[in-house]
Amino acid sequence: MQKIAIVTDTTACVPPEQVQTYGIEVVSVQLIIDNRSYRDGIDITPSEFYAMLRKSRKTPTTSSSSPSPYLEAFRQASRRTENILCLTEPSRFSAMFDSARVAAEMMKNNYKDTVIDVMECTTAAAGQGLVALAAARAAATGRPLPEVKEIAIDIMSRVNLFAALDTLQYLARSGRVPQAAALVNSILNIKPIFTLDHANAHTVALPRTMKSAIARMLKLMDAASAKNEMLHVAVMHADAPQLAAEFQDRISARFKCREIFITEFTPVMGVHTGPGLIGVAFYGEAAS
């Protein structure tokens, strides 16, 4: 029997092949598009979503988080383990952390031997995905739950995330930035780069093109990396595969990478950012 199972959700942007390799349970977040519900990653793919997003007259939304999907994920995981580590995005971004905690309490009634630890990540998107992958790899070596949790906390503290938005239109539509900011963005053709600092999002640069944004993010990676570190890197994109491939090539040529992969910005994240986003999440470890 597996010692520990890792549970996360589709906001973590973990590539399907990695999910399968490490047996990660992924909770699908529900989307509402033109009054129809879709389960992220099950009923709709990222490419299908972004095509629909461009045509949709109404702003797509995510449904309010419910404990039910987490409860099902915990039940599935409990069939192969008695220890579960669940990683959610920051509670300030959604109610998923609270939903997961409620589901964990509900599990105690009928799964008394199952230990469930719910952790709120201080990063998000592919940053959260890197934390989940590090935890899953540690679990695969047979380490006990407290050690796997400590590894996740350590990686969380070291993950950097930078992302450039092609437009503020979708954030304005969702009410997360003022319409005036989106108008200025459109007129000046700015591609704002933001980062997450302990779950606090803020802008770090305002380049005019996505190619300039990629160049700036490479410089930001330089500043955040130690000289001889080996990097774990996730390049993320929202319906911009060519730019993502270019970004990956430039990172590979510039840094020593223990791993580097491209992952799609899942629909549940793309609802707020729209298509065109390019970003990177990474952390370093000492070269061996």
> For 203-217, what is each residue's pLDDT tens digit?
899 899 999 999 999
| Fold entry, domain 160-286 | Hypothetical Protein Tm841; Chain: A;domain 3 (3.30.1180)
| Fold entry, domain 5-29+65-157 | Rossmann fold (3.40.50)
pLDDT at 123 over 90: yes
> For 219-246, what is each residue's pLDDT tens digit?
999 999 988 899 999 999 999 999 999 9
pLDDT at 59 over 80: no
Kind and range of the H or E run holding 145: helix 145-158
**7's torsion region: left (phi>0), alpha (psi -120 to 50) or beta?**
beta
Cα–Cα distance measured from residue 65 to residue 16, given in angstroms and rounded to the nearest whole number: 22
Domains 5-29+65-157 and 160-286 share a fold: no
pTM score:
0.92
Residue 45, CB-side half-sphere exposure with 13 Å CA sphere: 6
First to last CA, the chain: 32
pLDDT at 109 over 90: no
Domain ranges of the chain: 5-29+65-157, 160-286
Q: Give the pLDDT band (50/70/90) at residue 188.
A: low
